[in-house]
Structure 1
Amino acid sequence: MAQSKLDKWGIGDRVLAMREHLTCVEIADEVNMRYRPAGEELVNRMTISRYCNAHGITDRRRNDISAVPRDHFDTLEEAEKVRKRLVNHTNRIGELWENIKGDEEKLSELASISNAYMNALKMQQELNISVSKIQKEQLGLSKVRKVLSIILSTLDKHPEVRVEIFDELRKSEVYDTIRAL
Structure 2
Amino acid sequence: MDINLIRPAPEKAAELAREMLAIIEADPEFDRLRTACAKYDEDWTSFMGYALVDGFDIAKDTEPLFPEAMRAMAIKSAVYELTDGDEAAAEVPVAVPVDEMIHALAAQFTVLSRIQDRTGIKFVHATDREAIGQWDYGDYTHQVYRAAWGPTMNERYWFGKEETAMRRKAVTAKYEPMGILDGGRRFVPGFAKAS
Smaller-chain TM-score bracket:
under 0.3
Normalising by structure 1, what TM-score?
0.23
- Relative to its length, the structure with more helix (as a share) is 1
Normalising by structure 2, what TM-score?
0.22
Task: State which structure, 1 or 2, has the greater radius of gyration over its C-alpha atoms.
Answer: 1
